[in-house]
Amino acid sequence: MTANRLAESLLALSQQEELADLPKDYLLSESEDEGDNDGERKHQKLLEAISSLDGKNRRKLAERSEASLKVSEFNVSSEGSGEKLVLADLLEPVKTSSSLATVKKQLSRVKSKKTVELPLNKEEIERIHREVAFNKTAQVLSKWDPVILKNRQAEQLVFPLEKEEPAIAPIEHVLSGWKARTPLEQEIFNLLHKNKQPVTDPLLTPVEKASLQAMSLEEAKMRRAELQRARALQSYYEAKARREKKIKSKKYHKVMKKGKAKKALKEFEQLRKVNPAAALEELEKIEKARMMERMSLKHQNSGKWAKSKAIMAKYDLEARQAMQEQLSKNKELTQKLQVASESEEEEGGTEDVEELLVPDVLNEVQMNADGPNPWMLRSCTSDTKEAATQEDPEQLPELEAHGVSESEGEERPVAEEEILLREFEERRSLRKRFELSQDAEPAGSQETKDSGSQEVLSELRVLSQKLKENHQSRKQKASSEGTIPQVQREEPAPEEEEPLLLQRPERVQTLEELEELGKEECFQNKELPRPVLEGQQSERTPNNRPDAPKEKKKKEQMIDLQNLLTTQSPSVKSLAVPTIEELEDEEERNQRQMIKEAFAGDDVIRDFLKEKREAVEASKPKDVDLTLPGWGEWGGVGLKPSAKKRRRFLIKAPEGPPRKDKNLPNVIINEKRNIHAAAHQVRVLPYPFTHHWQFERTIQTPIGSTWNTQRAFQKLTTPKVVTKPGHIINPIKAEDVGYRSSSRSDLSVIQRNPKRITTRHKKQLKKSSVD
Amino acid sequence: METAPKPGKDVPPKKDKLQTKRKKLRRYWEEEAVPTTAGASPGPPRNKKNRELRPQRPKNAHILKKSRISKKPQVPKKLREWKNPESQRSLSGAQDPFPGPAPVPVEVVQKFCRIDKSRKLPHSKAKTRSRLEVAEAEEEETSIKAARSELLLAEEPGFLEGEDGEDTAKICQADIVEAVDIASAAKHFDLNLRQFGPYRLNYSRTGRHLAFGGRRGHVAALDWVTKKLMCEINVMEAVQDIRFLHSEALLAVAQNRWLHIYDNQGIELHCIRRCDRVTRLEFLPFHFLLATASETGFLTYLDVSVGKIVAALNARAGRLSVMSQNPYNAVIHLGHSNGTVSLWSPAMKEPLAKILCHRGGVRAVAVDSTGTYMATSGLDHQLKIFDLRGTYQPLSTRTLPHGAGHLAFSQRGLLVAGMGDVVNIWAGQGKASPPSLEQPYLTHRLSGPVHGLQFCPFEDVLGVGHTGGITSMLVPGAGEPNFDGLESNPYRSRKQRQEWEVKALLEKVPAELICLDPRALAEVDVISLEQGKKEQIERLGYDPQAKAPFQPKPKQKGRSSTASLVKRKRKVMDEEHRDKVRQSLQQQHHKEAKEAKAKPTGARPSALDRFVR
């Protein structure tokens, strides 16, 4: 766009220049013509003169070179005619001739005009163009200034930027401005009015209000008790569920898994009945998931655990069993593969497969009679199954409690396996059908399989997982539905009451409480001061004494340290316990004497003062003495540099700030800097601050959760920029900020905020326009 | 629809009417007196959690005779300003009688403000000013939020008040036990352990566990509220001091030779031989430092989180046997035999401060929980309370007949002193005031001389270890009633404790940050800042932040001669110079005025003075 505009402007400019050039050219050409004519004439005359030189004064026909009134028919000029020229003739054309006037005018005009300047050279023109272009783009870009300012000052920016939605009006405002118009709405309103439903106040109908009023305290209490009970029951149930979730027993989980598998099968069957196509798909998915599992080395007894077990297997029966289990699992999976292949190869039938299976089972059973073979559980004969199922109920109490299959529980032993067997057959037949259909399809599908088998596999894994999850969730739902009918039955009633019971006027309560407290406190305040004041008055006299020396201290230091320590302090007189004899004055005096005697040797105060003096001396900055003995005077043993010289070369250390303990006689405060702590302090002022006080003020409030409420903590630690994961952050566009896109908006923006154009810009604009 | 309430009018609920009438459920904005349980009951319901000794309002008069327990005076409440009710009218016609956010008392907000606004800042640029404004607004907002949450501190401290003229010190433990509820009464008990000598004791930070060690090697830890014994062993060595580490699971015992650490089963975990002949132990919970004072005169800091000795400082003052910590800034106070108390930090080899407190040696030191007051007692039989806020001057002094051998402050500022076999407790006027030593608040006599004292955190209980065993005393108003559930929760479970432990370790404060002013971290290190500036100037050859000298702008043609430029320059310079002179003159004037004020203006010398002989 800008390029276009630029081109346009350039064009305009060049046109202007051409226009300016035009008159100049015209004038130039005219003057040249005149010059040429003169020259020719002269040249002609010269030629004539030369030709006349050779003596033969030949008469030559005069050539007519200018217009004359008399034109002879012989083409003879007036020159040779010998007529005399009269002045009047000369003056005649000067008079007024219309044709010359115009020329004159033109001439005068040309003369009056100054000479037009030369066109600017290329560089300058380019510079001007650049300037103009810059101004224009600067104007265009200036529309972003407020946006940038806003973003810089914003406490938090959330990317990707979302357009600000218009503020949502509160529902009540919307409702008040709204009226039923359509017949449907009117009908609904009629209904509502008929039942005296609250239209505006969505809280309580009159009926409800009445019922509420009618409810007595006892009733309310009962309701509440019921509610509480229900809630308690629910919480118990939840706790139980949570506990069960945490159970680590392998056996329990095995049983659970089995139950889940059964459930899955059942559901699958149902699905098959309802929607065979979907069932087929699901089946395929399951099958593929199986395949995936088979590909892994999970049950190949090659892991760390398996190896360790293999070492132990010689001696440990359990280890052997575990190994066996693993192997059997593996076998089960591999067996599946065989089955699949068989079904592919020989479409014969299920009997064969079963025949194939049975001996295996037998073998297995013979091989390890210790326990039931897990992979055979599905297809083994009824007696083994029964044995398994009979074992189950003993371990299943929890399972039953969980309510996975309560209804099944009664008719379980026989019916279950029948279902299972049927299931198996059906599945097989289904698969066959599916495969047939697959065969019918061209090899394209296979190609895709080959090429993107990896992708498919991964997809399948996901799908299978989803499937499993679905099953689980469905199961959980079912179980929860199964076991909480009690709770649910009771719930509807609570739902009506709960809000009322919960929505106790808390705020009022607290405020009232506060007010009450305030009242009480008023009373207390009235009551309290008296005893306190009395106490203070009684205490005042002794209190004054220890205070007095403190005041003095500020003025004269060090002197009354003695005072400070030896001030007579009041002794405790009112000890309630009778064993403590109250000291009488003389006893006290005795004691003090004793103490004095005991500590006669060590004058604590003098020692302390000495220590303090030393500390003060040590902390003072030292003067530097640069005198060199022997320079500029006599040197030698026993000679000391003169005082004058010493004074001259002594560099006095600057006096430091006054000591903190200057006025505190009984204290020595260490003035040394704690370097280790200083290492943790800020030592460089950040940008906008010029004085450390300013910066300190901004870091004085702690932001940790230890010192703040949770809300405040979160507010103080909100990140400056928040990005949504997985979203592309596009550069900001005009539409995002509420501007119309397109070139026109630029102008409008500029007009809208003319202040944005700085004075410099204005100057440039003016300049460019002048140019 | 309900009628709108009249602003400002608040009818207190009538009791009799409420009790006779049926209870009616109401919305909170409904106008009439609200028969809530809180409003109707004579006082707000107290849920006693068994943990806080707050004697109930006695209904029977004979208890009341002994001691009247009254409620703590509350902060004056601000009146709610009412806005125009019409504007608040909602669609339902009902209106919020309490429009807008709930008001917050200004004093409470002030309490949480941390920016020192008294200091005037130098003139700042607009950008800086905006930053400062943001910081101030943030501070205000957070402090308002904190003030709002103050409402959640529902518990009130206990109280003991004599009838007019009655001395509370005459109320003995038996009376208190009789007056309080059963759960609180159960907190008063005696452990008769005469066999293993005088006992030192320590409560864990949550106040739930108690550990004690006898001079003759008996060490035990128990959950003293339920009286469940955690461990009991005999270390077969003299026990000097005992202290819980950060949690009740670890126990440091200063034995005759070395420092040992046991767990709560009584299993010895560590024997720290670098801390030998330890006499006193202190644990700094936020720094995870165990400070030990030894007979050899060394103060050793052991970081228990990493097991390293952070600093071993030689106090150069002989045997150290008096030690306490300042809970406000984790500075260790050591008492010496020459009557001084020295303040120590592991970052400094010398004491941070030395205070001459007594003429004789110092026997005991204690610092209150706000770090404002320090109580010391010396061999000169004096008990002094010092102000630690920069002046280190004694606020009050008292001579005790036998002198106090042990001192301790409670969380709410009660001071206890053990003198021989008597325990004296002093209380202050309010929370922030020092305990007044005029009248003891409570006294109690024990079966043997006192050897260890500590107030139990969050309980109105004082534990006293003496030669006859352990005594747990009831001291109403000693403990902080509201505990921080995330910081030190007496009821925490094992899981919570583990969680807290991890968090506390993550928030461990480095040992070198211990100094007299704990807020020093929020200050800029001015010395290195200035040094850095100087170095920069040296490096660059000029001061990048210096104000540019005045450069006169070129004026119109003809007026911008060199002479005029120079003239203008000089003008500005002169003006600046004049300003400076003016300022210095003003300062001089101020000084003179001050001096004149300070000097007592005597009678003017008269001409006749010369004749005075």
CA distance B273 to chain A (A): 27
Using the beta-carbon criterion (under 8 Å), do A518 and B76 form an inter-chain contact?
yes
Question: Rounded CA gap, A199 and A178, in Å?
Answer: 12
The helix, strand and coil proportions of chain A, stated in percent and rounded to the nearest 5, come to 65, 0, 30
CB contact under 8 A, B132 and A698: yes
Domain membership flag for residue A2: no
Residue A157 lies inside a defined structural domain of this protein? no
Mean pLDDT, to the nearest integer, of A444-464?
45
Pick from B524, B543, B545 the residue to mutate for testing the A interface (most A CBs within 10 Å): B524
Out of B114, B351, B381, whose CB is closest to A591? B381
Assigned domain for A508 exists? no
Judge: B167–A692 Cβ closer than 8 Å, yes or no. no
Q: Which residues of chain A have a CB within 8 Å of the CB of B360?
A: 595, 598-599, 604
Which residues on chain A are in Cβ contact (under 8 Å) with B422?
A: 575, 577, 579-580
Interface of A with B in 57-116 (CB under 8 A): none
* Cβ atoms of residues B409 and B386 within 8 Å: no
Nearest-by-Cβ selection for A216 from B22, B70, B512: B22
pLDDT for B83-112, tens place per residue? 444 444 555 667 778 888 888 989 999 989
Using a CB-CB cut-off of 8 Å, the residues of chain B touching A675 are 347
Q: Note whether residue B131 is domain-resident.
A: yes
B466 bridge partner residues: B450, B469
Residue of chain B whose Cα is closest to the Cα of A547? B395
Residue B126 lies in a domain: yes
For chain B, the domain total comes to: 2
Distance of CA B559 to the CA centre of its chain: 71
Do B144 and B174 belong to one domain?
no
Contacts of B12 (CB under 8 A, 6+ apart): A516, B33
**Residue B123 above 80 pLDDT?**
yes
A537 touches chain B (CB under 8 A): no
Q: Are A267 and A318 part of one and the same domain?
A: no
* Confidence tier at A427 by pLDDT (50, 70, 90): low
Position A41 scores a pLDDT of: 86
Please indicate whether, in this complex, the C-beta atoms of B379 and A595 are within 8 angstroms of each other: yes
Q: Does B403 reside within a domain?
A: yes
- To the nearest whole Å, the CA of B20 is away from the closest chain A CA by 11
Together in a domain, A651 and A673: yes
Mean pLDDT of A408-412: 42
Dist CA B148 CA A211 (whole Å): 38
Residue B303 pLDDT: 96
φ, ψ (nearest 5 deg) of residue B170 = -85, -10
Query: CB neighbours of A288 closer than 8 A, spacing ≥ 6?
Result: A456, A457, A460, A463, A464
- Domain final position from A298, A315, A344: A298
CB contact under 8 A, B338 and A670: no
Q: Is the peptide bond before B73 cis (omega within 30 degrees of 0)?
A: no
The answer as to whether A294 is a domain residue is: yes
A552: its two tokens? 């003095």
Q: Are residues A264 and A280 in the same domain?
A: yes
CATH number of the structural domain spanning residue B391: 2.130.10.10
Task: State the pLDDT at residue B289.
Answer: 96
With CA atoms as reference, the chain B residue closest to A542 would be: B438
Residues 683-712 of A with CB under 8 A from B: 683-685, 688-702, 706, 708-709, 711-712
pLDDT of amino acid B76: 41
| Average pLDDT score over residue span A42-47 | 87
Same domain, B172 and B148: no
Q: What is the pLDDT of residue A67?
A: 67
pLDDT in tens, B172-195: 999 999 999 999 999 999 999 999
pLDDT single digits (tens) A539-591: 443 444 444 344 444 444 444 565 666 555 555 544 444 334 444 456 666 77
Residue B79, both tokens: 């009146």
Chain B residue with CA closest to A524: the answer is B73
Q: Is A518 on the interface with B (CB under 8 A)?
A: yes
Q: How far is CA B408 from CA A489, B454, B475, in A?
A: 61, 6, 13
Mind listing the pLDDT tens digit for each residue in A185-223?
A: 888 878 877 777 665 555 566 677 777 677 778 888 898
pLDDT mean over B205-224: 95
Question: Does residue B463 lie within any of the structural domains?
Answer: yes
Kindly provide the ipTM of the predicted complex, given to two decimals: 0.78
**Of the candidates A376, A427, A467, A419, which has an alpha carbon nearest to the alpha carbon of residue A266?**
A419
Q: What is the pairing mode between strands B415-419 and B422-426?
A: antiparallel
Is there a single domain that holds both residue A240 and residue A293?
Answer: yes
* Alpha-carbon gap: B386 to the closest alpha carbon of chain A (Å): 12
Q: Which of B188, B208, B213 is nearest to B198 (CA)?
A: B213
Tell me how close the Cα of B194 comes to any Cα of chain A, in angstroms.
22
Amino acid letter for position A416: E
Question: Do residues A409 and A400 make contact, with C-beta atoms less than 8 angstroms apart?
Answer: yes
Of A89-98, A623-632, B304-313, the range with the highest mean pLDDT is B304-313
B179 and B100 within one domain: no
Q: Are B176 and B65 part of one and the same domain?
A: no
Distances in Å between the alpha carbon of B187 and those of B180, B361, B460? 10, 36, 9
Which of A310, A332, A354 is the endpoint of a domain?
A: A332
Nearest beta carbon to residue A518 from set B74, B167, B339: B74
- pLDDT, tens digit, 9 for 90 and up, residues B14-30: 333 333 344 445 555 55
Residue B40 resides in a domain: yes
Give this prediction's pTM: 0.56
Comparing CB atoms, the residue among B128, B351, B523 nearest residue A688 is B128
Query: Which residues span the domain enclosing B125?
Result: 13-152
CB-nearest to A699 from B76, B522, B545 is B522
Residues pairing with B229 in the sheet:
B222
Identify which of B136, B512, B525 has the shortest CB distance to residue A682: B525
Taking the CA atoms of chain A, what radius of gyration do you get in angstroms?
57
Same domain, A250 and A292: yes
pLDDT score, position A75: 57
Shared domain check, A308 and A287: no
Number of domains in chain A: 3
Same domain, yes or no, for B107 and B173? no
For residues B143 and B177, state if they share a domain: no
Instruction: Give yes or no for residue A404 having a pLDDT over 50.
Output: no
Q: Which amino acid is at A393?
A: P
B67 with B172, same domain? no
Whether residue A179 lies inside any domain: the answer is no
- A322 plus A282 within the same structural domain: no
CB A460 within 8 A of CB A467: no
Same domain, A625 and A688: yes
pLDDT at B57: 37
* Residue B30, domain member (yes or no): yes
Which of A33-37, B137-141, B501-505 is least confident?
A: A33-37
Domain finish residue from A669, A696, A723? A696
- B455: enclosing H helix or E strand: strand B450-455
Is there a single domain that holds both residue A293 and residue A255?
A: yes
Residues B145 and B176 placed together within one structural domain of the fold: no
**Distance from the B290 Cα atom to the nearest Cα atom in chain A, whole angstroms:** 19
DSSP states along B397-433: EEE-SS--SEEEE-TTS-EEEEETTEEEEE--SSSSS
At B223 the pLDDT is 95
User: What number is the average pLDDT over the span B305-331?
Assistant: 94
pLDDT digits (tens, 9 = 90+) for A356-389: 333 343 344 344 444 444 444 444 444 444 444 4
A318 and A257 assigned to the same domain? no
**Nearest residue on chain A to B440, alpha-carbon basis:** A575
The pairing of strands B394-399 and B406-409 is unpaired
Model pLDDT, residue B600 = 63
Contact A576 B443 (CB under 8 A): yes
Of A203, A566, A701, the CB nearest to B135: A701
Could you report the per-residue pLDDT of A675-707, keeping only the tens digit for each?
A: 999 999 999 999 889 999 999 999 999 998 888
**Domain membership flag for residue A19:** no
Using CA atoms, how far residue B82 sits from A230, A308, B5, B87, B94, in Å, is 42, 80, 11, 11, 16
The domain boundary, picked from B484, B504, B538, lies at: B484
Q: What does the angle CA A101 – CA A105 – CA A107 come to, to the nearest 5 degrees?
A: 115
Pairwise CA distance, residues B212 & B210, whole Å: 7
If one compares A310 and A77, the residue with the highest pLDDT of the two is: A310
Closest Cα in chain A, distance from residue B422 (Å): 8
In this predicted structure, what is the pLDDT of residue B343? 96
CB interface of A with B, residues 393-422, below 8 Å: none
Residue B533 is predicted with a pLDDT of 92
Residue A449 pLDDT > 60: no
In a domain, B341, yes or no: no
Query: How many CB pairs lie under 8 A apart between chains A and B?
Result: 328
Q: Do the chains contact at A528 and B73, CB–CB below 8 Å?
A: yes
- Closest alpha carbon within chain B to A566: B359
| Tokens describing residue B10 | 């608040």
> In terms of domains, do A287 and A324 share one?
no
**A273 and A291, same structural domain?**
yes
**In the predicted model, is pLDDT for residue A500 greater than 70?**
no
Nearest to A103 by CA among A166, A164, A170, A27: A27
What confidence score (pLDDT) does residue A312 get?
80
Nearest one of A388, A42, A522 to B74, comparing CA atoms: A522
User: Which three-class secondary structure string do you get for A2-30?
Assistant: HHHHHHHHHHHHHHHHHHHHHHHHHHHHH
Question: Residue B124 phi/psi, 5° resolution?
Answer: -125, 155
C-alpha torsion sign, points A411, A412, A413, A418:
positive
Residue with tokens 């139980």: A240
- Restricting to A residues 351-380, those with a Cβ less than 8 Å away from any Cβ of B are none
User: In the block, which residue shows the tokens 């606020």?
Assistant: B395
CB contact under 8 Å between A577 and B507, yes or no, is no
Q: Over 50: is that where the pLDDT of A770 sits?
A: no
Contact A683 B525 (CB under 8 A): yes
CA–CA distance, B327 with B329 (Å, rounded to integer): 6
In this structure, what token pair is assigned to residue B490? 């007496």
- Residue B20 and residue B143 in one domain: yes
Chain A nearest C-alpha distance from B554 (Å): 18
Are B72 and B174 in the same domain?
no
What's chain B's average pLDDT?
A: 84
Which tokens sit at B607? Answer: 């001409």
B132 and B172 both lie in a single domain: no
Q: What is the pLDDT of residue A324?
A: 84
Residue of chain A whose Cα is closest to the Cα of B529: A683
Bigger pLDDT: B507 vs A371: B507
In a domain, A680, yes or no: yes
d(CA B326, CA B424): 22
Q: Is residue B256 in some structural domain?
A: no
Please check whether residue A463 is in contact with residue A289, taking contact to mean a CB–CB distance below 8 angstroms.
yes
Backbone angles phi, psi at B239, to 5 degrees: -105, 120
Residue type, B164: D
Residue from the list A524, A681, A701 with its beta carbon closest to the beta carbon of B521: A681
pLDDT in tens, B569-606: 999 999 999 999 999 999 999 999 988 887 665 667 78
Q: Is residue A135 part of a domain?
A: no
Nearest to B124 among A509, A694, A699 (CB): A694
Q: How far apart are CA B463 and CA A222, in angstroms?
A: 47
Residues B363 and B438 in one domain: yes
pLDDT, greater one: B371 or A80: B371
Q: Return the axis-axis angle of helices A453-483 and A276-295, rounded to nearest 10°.
A: 120
H or E segment to which residue B289 belongs: strand B289-294
Does A689 sit within 8 Å of B135, measured CB to CB? no
- Which residues form the domain of A682? 621-696
**A294 versus A360: which is more confidently predicted?**
A294
In order, the DSSP letters of A497-545 are: HHHHHH---HHHHHHHHHHHHHHHHHHHHHHTHHHHHHHHHHHHHHHHH
Angstrom distance (rounded) from CA A738 to CA A740: 7
Per the CB < 8 Å rule, is A698 touching B436? no
Q: Which domain-ending residue is among B453, B469, B484?
A: B484
Lowest mean pLDDT among A115-119, A568-572, B40-44, B279-283: B40-44
